[in-house]
Homo-oligomer: A and B are copies of this chain.
Amino acid sequence: MSGRLRVVGLGPGNPEQMTFQARTVLAGASDLFGYRAYLERLKPEPGQTHHVSDNREELARAKAALAMAASGKDVAIVSGGDAGVFAMGAAVCEAIEGAPDALHQIDLEIVPGITAMLAVAARAGAPLGNDFCALSLSDNLKPWELIEARLRAACGAGFVLALYNPTSRARPWQLARAFEILQAQLPLETPVIFGRAVGRSVESVAIVTLQAAAQEKADMATCIIVGSAETRIISRAGLPPLVYSPRSSFRPAR
């Protein structure tokens, strides 16, 4: 097989937060596959074809890209953020595992990117400065009961939480339920960060207490970080507060 397949993380939406490696790969590919909102960020190179697909068609997109790479093309699949965090990396691996053995040898490269929680954290301070978990709240691909169990386990053990896919029109109550669970286990003044479209012109970052955290503050483009009991807020006159999780866990909880 002469073709190759690369899965590229675009970063959070600010083109300056893309890596040099990602830009080089995207410039050289013959064909780009991706969700419409991500491909719209990229101007096609001369001779380059963009294959746009809708959200929630990840496996079909991965199979189509794999088939085109196997036919000899230089194919890149794009993801927002990182390629491997709730993104196309796993879908491509699933497509390869399900394909005939010959396709297992496809020339594959995963190109990492800045995932949403890192960009949101950077906007707020350093809330991921101690141990943390990244958890998708979407119950499209796993049972809701498992999500609840993971929320309880993670916050019970003192992890900071980064919540991906917090809400959508098809999942109208799940985030509110998640906050209920967290409110029962964590101090109500625990900081919660809602980072929406971070890095883009429409970016918004809101820092609230867990008590005030509500489903309505999030949408599909939001990544939420919930602190641990040790996460701290530094007030700054005339500036948004800084939120950080101390590196040390020896100090008593607040």
Contacts and interface: CB of A to CB of B under 8 A. Distances in A.
A220 B235 CA distance: 36
Given A111-B122, A114-B113, A131 B136 contact: yes
Q: Is the interface of A mostly helix, strand, loop or mixed?
A: mixed
A125 B242 contact: no
Interface stretch (A14-22, A28-36, A170-178, A207-215): A14-22
A180 interface: no
Interface residues of A, number: 82
A172 B91 CA distance: 38
B132 A97 contact: no
A197 to B, nearest CB: 15
A149 to B, nearest CB: 6
Contacts of A24: 16
Contact of A250 (B132, B135, B142): B142
Contacts of A146: 158, 249
A88 to B, nearest CB: 8
B112 A236 contact: no
8 tightest CB-CB pairs across the interface, nearest first?
Answer: A90-B129, A89-B126, A93-B244, A153-B157, A142-B249, A110-B122, A16-B21, A90-B126
